[in-house]
Amino acid sequence: MTEGNSIINAQLTPLPDKVGVDGLEDKWRAVWDEDGTYKFRNTRDRKAVYSIDTPPPTVSGSLHVGHVFSYTHTDVIARYKRMRGYDVFYPMGWDDNGLPTERRVQNYYGVRVDVSLPYDPDFKPPFEGTDGKKIDAKDQVPISRKNFIELCEKLTAEDEKLFEALWRKLGLSIDWSQTYHTIGQHPRRVAQKAFLRNLARGEAYQQDAPGLWDVTFQTAVAQAELESREYPGFYHKVAFRFEDGTPIYIETTRPELLAACTSLIANPNDERYKQYFGQEVYSPLFKVKVPILAHPAAEMDKGAGIAMCCTFGDVTDVEWWRDLKLPTRPIIQRNGRIVMDTPDWIEDPAGREVFAETAGKTTFSARKVIVDKLRESGDLDGEPTPTKRMTNFYEKGDKPLEIVTSRQWYLKNGGTDAKLNAELIERGKELNFHPDFMRVRYENWVHGLNGDWLISRQRFFGVPFPLWYPVNASGEPDYDHPITPSEDRLPIDPAIDVPEGYDESQRDVPGGFTAEKDIMDTWATSSLTPQIVTHWAEPDEASQALFKSTFPMDLRPQGQDIIRTWLFSTVDRAHLENKCLPWAHATLSGWILDPDHKKMSKSKGNVVVPKEPIEKFGADAVRYWAAAARLGLDATYDIGQMKIGRRLAIKLLNATKFALAIGREDENHHVGEAAEASWNPADVTEPLDRAAMAKLALVVRQATEALEAYEHSKALETIESYFWQFCDDYIELVKNRAYGTPDEQGNVPSEKAVKSARTALGLGLDAFARLLAPYLPYASEEVWSWMHAGSGSVHRAAWPVVDPYIEAATGASPELLTWAGKAVEQLRKIKSEAKVSMKTPILSVALSAVSEGVDAIHAALGDIAQAGRVVGKFDLVAKHTAESAAEDAPETEVAVETSELGEPPVKKPKK
């Protein structure tokens, strides 16, 4: 294919006798792979590169159509930018560490970690897949941490192959040579390097503090990973007593925490309790003396208006404990059970006996014991009353979170630093959100932060912190003086590697060292995907060149539900490390809803595996459904839309074949020879052809503007609407002229008129192949190959520009085509109402329209007459606007005034 001075020179191939979408995916995917169609060249400067921070999907099972939905949105933009001349950097990653992966491995192989066990090089797991069924912990085989990690690596590698096969079938234009794994060597090096630099600048720190804890997964949980869920419980009205036995009542849903009570808290403005501030009361059952204190966070209209502060029942307890400098009295272990040893602060013998009855029990069982004891002692006023309260859960957990004190690593994120918070708010204002209303979600999250980002996890499969600690003479780790490696040693595993100046014999002995046992939160690695894919801070020249040409990146596509986690944490990391935004644009996709308009999720069992619709309707059809949805809005899983997408792809094939076959068919309608064509806008001379080109120029402009604004669905709607008009109206109107077919009076169209039609058809279908290429990559590639043999992929061709179509239109109005289409519609209506064949001739007809419509129809009268088989008199009647309005007819309406039909053609007998 060559383009110059707006002329498109085409190399036409022989055409298939039958066309269809089946088989196109395998055919063109093989060609794209062989030719490196989507490979990033990295031969140009930053301005000529468009880089995408692709979301690395979590490798923990199977993908569902929600993934197809959002990844298609990204691919449309990637393909569009490539056609706009950018060198598109479009990598793919796999998020293969963290709790989802561990949970899948536990269930798949039937194993669990026991850190006390040695590595078994000959270990064989008891299962190889359990059909997604959860295996109880008691039935899981305990194995060493190293054995467990090996199983994680094995299973994720298998899952990743399936994921890649699906993405390839969907037609994602990813450069697969740029694939990475968040647990891989390079990402681990980036994550550890960034952490060490955060540590050196004082942005990362460790602290013994109360924090949210998941008792199932045995790990700390960050604020961004919380879900607030409604949880049933009971209010218990419980009496604390003054020295003289006078009661003061609190209401609590967690009486099992009475032994952890440090004080009673009321609002300083609550007149009911002002007189008691500074006094002391005794806790029921345990007889521990606690003060009555004031704090503004106490809610006067909640329960009794006065509450007990326990260490710790919820985040409000933590706030009171911190602000009022209260003692710490923890009684819940990390496993969610009550501690075994009776605490020293319980001195009363009877109280110690009560506590002993709860020792080692779950909070649920301990609650039952305490409530029974409160009844016996008379300290429970009435019976518990049912209630439902909003309780914090880990987003992947199924039990309420507890708050336990532990040593954890934190990264500054503006939760405790007002200056940093303001800076991150400003970063959000710099970022282009698509749609823009999503910006407020980012700002609300940053404004609402109440603590720094907890980045440590007490798990096994993840990026280890690159740290060791000196062990003092007493055998205790010195956490205040961590030992760090040099960057050139990264990545390291402190459980295997040895710090400089030590040897392995000094591990875990007095005077030696010990490894940091925690791993980084998976988001601590995922938040660095821009730095990972662009090879930030790598010493080799190739990596430095890549970073220079791709960072800061152009686009972060992602789901709306992880603004607070992935988007914000990535902004935080880039702000701290690179002093800039990690990308210029963020596109936020909505959720996929099932046919009942409920969000699809594995837990609800209403997900659809994308392989099914792709195999049934084709990848182009599924992409069409996804791309038709606007950013930021939820969409329904709709096979009806997929059927429309399939029809669109087939219509593109059929319409293009029809146009390219004109003048080349043999007597059997077979096109077996190659040919050349030259589509010169100057050869478009007929009014109807020019109108079609005028409308095409408008569509190209509008679609381009929409895609530049990341409004892929708006662009698709614009393109598709005109494509159907082009096929249903324009092609039907001009096909006889394009073939050079004589009209009913035997008049043969001029060579100039024939060439005008054929040129407009060529220009139009060449444009539609390009315009639809980001949406229907397989069908578009197929028709492109028929038009431009040897010219390469349509996906490396130039996106259409308006110039050749404006030149071809020479000032024509696109409305002429609209009026002509309405006229043909009325001629068809005459026959359909008479229930006769569309081939039935019309002996005479009179159509009416406003004067503008009459002029337009008159300009295309010959084509309209042939398309409608008008063989006799064809009159046009102009109506004034006022007259049309009086008859309650729209100004754009065409009406039949009179008509006379001829004899329908004789049906040929069936053979």
Residues 212 and 221: beta-carbon distance below 8 Å: yes
pLDDT at 729: 97
Residues 657, 662, 665, 669, Cα dihedral to 10°: 60
Least confident of 466-480, 534-548, 895-909: 895-909
Task: Tell me the pLDDT band of 1, cut-offs 50, 70 and 90.
Answer: very low
Residues 331 and 339: beta-carbon distance below 8 Å: yes
Using DSSP's 3-state secondary structure scheme, residue 588 falls into strand
Q: How many C-beta neighbours within 10 Å does residue 282 have?
A: 18
Q: How far is CA 313 from CA 147, 304, 363, 757, 796, in A?
A: 37, 17, 11, 78, 60
Q: What mean pLDDT do residues 574-594 have?
A: 96
Query: Helix 619-627 to helix 65-83 angle, to the nearest 10 degrees?
Result: 90
Task: Tell me the pLDDT band of 128, cut-offs 50, 70 and 90.
Answer: confident
pLDDT at 8: 96
Task: Tell me the pLDDT band of 100, cut-offs 50, 70 and 90.
Answer: confident
pLDDT at 694 over 80: yes
Tens-digit pLDDT profile for residues 731-754? 999 999 999 999 878 889 999 999
pLDDT at 338 over 50: yes
Please calculate the CA angle 342-347-352 and round it to the nearest 5 degrees. Answer: 45
pLDDT at 138 over 90: no
Q: What mean pLDDT do residues 173-186 have?
A: 94
pLDDT at 745: 81
Least confident of 244-248, 371-375, 887-891: 887-891
Q: How many C-beta neighbours within 10 Å does residue 177 have?
A: 10
pLDDT at 296: 94
Task: Tell me the pLDDT band of 365, cut-offs 50, 70 and 90.
Answer: very high
Q: What mean pLDDT do residues 472-500 have?
A: 97
pLDDT at 227: 85
Beta bridge partners of residue 309, listed in sequence order? 263
Higher pLDDT, 727 or 226: 727
pLDDT at 5 over 80: no
Least confident of 464-468, 733-737, 890-894: 890-894
Q: What mean pLDDT do residues 813-822 have?
A: 97
CA 297 – CA 319 distance, rounded (Å)? 9
Using DSSP's 3-state secondary structure scheme, residue 207 falls into strand
Q: In which residue are the tokens 């979600």 written? A: 441
Task: Give me the chain's average pLDDT, please.
Answer: 93
What's the whole-model pTM score?
A: 0.87
Gyration radius of the chain's alpha carbons: 36
Q: Which two tokens stand for residue 811?
A: 């000032």
Task: Tell me the pLDDT band of 36, cut-offs 50, 70 and 90.
Answer: very high
Residues 287 and 398: beta-carbon distance below 8 Å: no
Domains of the chain: 2-22+639-812 (1.10.730.10), 233-385 (3.90.740.10), 816-901 (3.30.2320)
Q: What mean pLDDT do residues 868-878 have?
A: 95
Beta bridge partners of residue 50, listed in sequence order? 88
Tens-digit pLDDT profile for residues 395-439? 778 889 999 888 999 999 999 999 999 999 999 999 999 999 999
Q: What is the DSSP string of 716-745?
A: HHHHHHHHHHIIIIIIHHHHHHHHT---TT
Q: How many C-beta neighbours within 10 Å does residue 33 have?
A: 13
Tens-digit pLDDT profile for residues 522-532? 999 999 999 99
Which of 51-80 are b and which e, b meaning 16 or more Cβ less than 10 Å from the residue's Cβ? bbbbbbbbbbbebbbbbbbbbbbbbbbbbb
Using DSSP's 3-state secondary structure scheme, residue 586 falls into strand
Q: What mean pLDDT do residues 490-512 have?
A: 97
Q: What mean pLDDT do residues 564-571 have?
A: 96
**Which DSSP symbol is given to 669?**
S
pLDDT at 107: 86
Q: What mean pLDDT do residues 846-862 have?
A: 95
Provide φ and ψ at 681, rounded to 5°.
-55, -30
CA 77 – CA 84 distance, rounded (Å)? 10
Provide φ and ψ at 257, rounded to 5°.
-95, 10
pLDDT at 882 over 50: no
- Of 150, 156, 154, the closest CA to residue 181 belongs to 156
Task: Tell me the pLDDT band of 16, cut-offs 50, 70 and 90.
Answer: very high
pLDDT at 62: 75
Q: What percent of the chain has pLDDT over 70?
A: 97
Q: Which two tokens stand for residue 299?
A: 């809610």
Q: How far is CA 78 from CA 24, 61, 205, in A?
A: 21, 27, 39
pLDDT at 2: 46
Q: What mean pLDDT do residues 602-628 have?
A: 90
| Beta carbons within 8 Å of 666's beta carbon, 6+ residues apart | 672
Q: How many CA atoms, within 13 angstroms, populate the side-chain half-sphere of residue 677? A: 29
Q: How far is CA 190 from CA 51, 412, 486, in A?
A: 19, 18, 13
pLDDT at 883 over 60: no
Label residue 85 left, alpha or beta by phi (over 0 means left) and psi (-120 to 50 means alpha). Answer: left
Full strand arrangement of the beta sheet holding 204-214: 219-220, 204-214, 402-411, 453-454
CA 188 – CA 176 distance, rounded (Å)? 20
Q: What percent of the chain has pLDDT over 90?
A: 80
Q: What is the DSSP string of 763-805?
A: HHHHHHHHHTTTT-HHHHHHHHHHHBTTS--GGGSPPP-SHHH
Q: Which two tokens stand for residue 898?
A: 């009179």
| Beta carbons within 8 Å of 644's beta carbon, 6+ residues apart | 621, 624
Residues 693 and 805: beta-carbon distance below 8 Å: yes
Long-range contacts (CB closer than 8 Å, 24 or more residues apart) made by 496-504 = 499/468, 502/468
Using DSSP's 3-state secondary structure scheme, residue 520 falls into strand
- Of 239, 531, 244, 278, the closest CA to residue 381 belongs to 239
Q: Which two tokens stand for residue 782?
A: 């197929």
Q: How many C-beta neighbours within 10 Å does residue 639 have?
A: 16
